[in-house]
A and B are shown apart, each in its own frame.
Chain A
Amino acid sequence: MTTSESALKQVLADVFGVDASTITDDASVDSVEKWDSLNHLNLVLALEERFNVSLTEEQIIEMLNYPLVKAVLKEHGVDFA
């Protein structure tokens, strides 16, 4: 599945309650105010919904910033144009 990065950024924007333009490669657990453990769970649910994937527990734990989220989705065959 190939999709645009803006779709991914919109998911993070919805989950963390911020504007999609603020989601850059620097976005991480440390830099996004509302990226706490509960919203991390919401992020998992929202990503699984949007990209129709099922993440493993290891992947859930490792995707601590935006580039890693992208990398995890790539492992599930989601490519960003």
Chain B
Amino acid sequence: MIETHESGLREALARVTAEGTYSACLAAHHALEKLREAGTVPTMRLGVLRNFTIEPLLPVLDAEAARDGSLPVTYLGDFDAIAADALDSTGPLARFHPSVIVLALWLTPLAPRLVERFPSLSADEVQAEVTRVVTYVRDMLAGLRRWTRAPILLNNFPLPPRRALGILDAQREESQTEAALGLNRALRQLATDAGSTFIVDYMSVFAAVGSAEGLDARNWAHRRSPLGRPVLLPLGQEYARYFRALRGGARKCVVVDCDNTLWGGIVGEDGPDGIRIGDGPGATHTSLQRELLNLHDRGVLIALCSKNNEEDVLEVLRTHPDMLLRESHVACHRINWDDKASNLQAIAQTLNIGLDSVVFVDDSVFECGLVRDRLPDVVVVELTSAGSDDYGSQLARRGLFDSLVSSTEDAQRTSHFKAEVTRRELQSTAGSLEDFLRGLEMVAEVGEAHDEVIARIAQLTQKTNQFNLTTRRYTEADIRRFAGAGSSAVLYLRLRDAVADLGLVGVAIVTTAGRIADVDTFLLSCRALGRGVEAVLLDEVRRCAEARGCTTLRGRYVPTPKNAQVAEFFPSAGFAIEAAGPTPSFVAELTTLPCPTSPIAVVRIPSPRSEPHDHI
């Protein structure tokens, strides 16, 4: 029975992808409902609070979340009864245990005069209305934060489709548009203050669709349902970008074809002078290169995969005057005559990332079909010259690389990975692994979390999938709490070697209770695997526990589809099993843990809270 429902869902989702219609989303919504009724356990618990009829959007949220691989179940709060759920720590929403909360607000019911009777308000009254709305939202967020740490998705407000003052509005400082913009700025500040709260940018989505199209005045008047049909799918897709980022599903690498993708024409036939890039006939290819550079600056890895002679492609990268993408932007390339699925696997292996972190971009129906078929984890962007979207927009529009945290380390990522490629080349010519690791001259810098590293630490907890014992996702606010509390500590590890500075690559969070120290989180970025760094970090955990008067260290392994490689981590580090089961726990007496002999030199950075002179 479940198999039937699963294939029903697959069919419906295929229709959502192919047709992009509201009807297909409704079909997917019903298919999901049948799967849940048959007993399939949801993987995402969505709590929706709203002051308007949001029901028409829910099937799209269902379909888009499912298209992203989640199985959602939704709790919908009563119409315009947000406080009843937000302020009640034992209310129906709290009992539902949401993993994500959507706080969906429409401005008209909150401040009708601001929307409908703007010219009747004085400047002071406008300000008072804005303040009232902000206070209300702050109260709701504070109420939620009293009982839940689930991420909250709070929308901002679309600009009014019609300005009551007409063209005068744009001439005044105290205008309807300025009031909406000011309100949206205040919401962003509230979101930052509430922690793990993110603004869903209705303003931009409605602007892209057209704010008049996005608003259904008829359904607003009769059903308090303001969302126009043209905005339903774009809005659902926008929410899905947040769902994906929150579950750590952002893609890390884009693999690009060359001929008729990076440039027009075929370099092997037309020659470097005959290919099309730049304005005019090559504009769409240049738009793709521009988008690739933007992704590169955001820390996404760029790889090339092309059926060509390697020298031909490299010559274009190095010497063609109109190329924007250069060799320095490319983390690795496979330019040969092998099939692209095998090349993608090789690229993922070289860069030490999973195929589910990879996006493949090609203009060839055949290559795209082959990759979809052989490597279902890879997202395929099949470029088309039909329609008005250029190649750059086709890559950008799905938000595949979206992240809710940014840090400067992201932007350095390509240079790390390029160094990794160099290291692997060293490895293949060097002798034993031991010799190789020693030759890297690694230095680990370890310390307790402080302000400059908290963003990166939170990002690692959100993005790290493979070497992650418990896969607990934390926000910056969470990390601050752990770091500030007396009964917990956040340790970080930075690594550099003879080739490059790899940055902050390791995090451990320890909580203590009496003589027992628990390893809440223990993770390493994939760029630091295979170097023995984990032994150094575990030794730091041991020291930290010892310094806090503990005698026993306890760890837990929480299996996920991605972290099988660490299943044996604690036993192999000298821990004994404490309790078996689906999430086994392990213990070790601190005194029995071996001191690691490691090819890594360790530099301990004193905690910023202690006096700098304590450190010698």
Contact = CB atoms under 8 A, between A and B. Distances in A.
Interface of A: 10-11, 13-17, 38, 41-42, 44-46, 48-50, 57, 60
Contact of A17 (B30, B225, B232): B30
B74 to A, nearest CB: 13
B5 to A, nearest CB: 12
Given A14-B23, A49-B21, A42 B56 contact: yes
Ranked 3 nearest A-B pairs via Cβ: A17-B30, A14-B23, A14-B27
A45 B232 contact: yes
Contacts of A48: 229
B172 interface: no
A41 B218 CA distance: 11
B615 interface: no
Q: Is the interface of B mostly helix, strand, loop or mixed?
A: helix
B26 A49 contact: no
Q: Size band of the B side of the interface? A: 20 to 34
Nearest to B29: A17
A79 B101 CA distance: 44
B613 interface: no
B77 to A, nearest CB: 15
Interface of B: 21-24, 26-27, 29-30, 33-34, 53, 55-56, 59, 218-219, 222-223, 225, 229, 232
Contacts of A46: 22-23, 26
Most buried by A among B26, B53, B59, B229: B26
Contacts of B23: 10-11, 14-15, 46, 49-50
Nearest to B223: A41
A49 to B, nearest CB: 5
Contacts of A15: 23, 26
Contacts of A14: 23-24, 26-27, 30
A17 B34 CA distance: 9
B56 A45 contact: yes
Nearest to B222: A57
A14 B29 CA distance: 9
Contacts of B53: 41
B218 A57 contact: yes
30 contacts: A10-B23, A11-B23, A14-B23, A14-B24, A16-B30, A17-B26, A17-B29, A17-B34, A38-B55, A41-B55, A41-B56, A41-B219, A41-B223, A41-B225, A42-B22, A42-B26, A42-B56, A42-B59, A45-B22, A45-B56, A45-B229, A46-B22, A46-B23, A46-B26, A49-B23, A49-B229, A50-B23, A57-B218, A57-B222, A60-B222
A57 B23 CA distance: 21
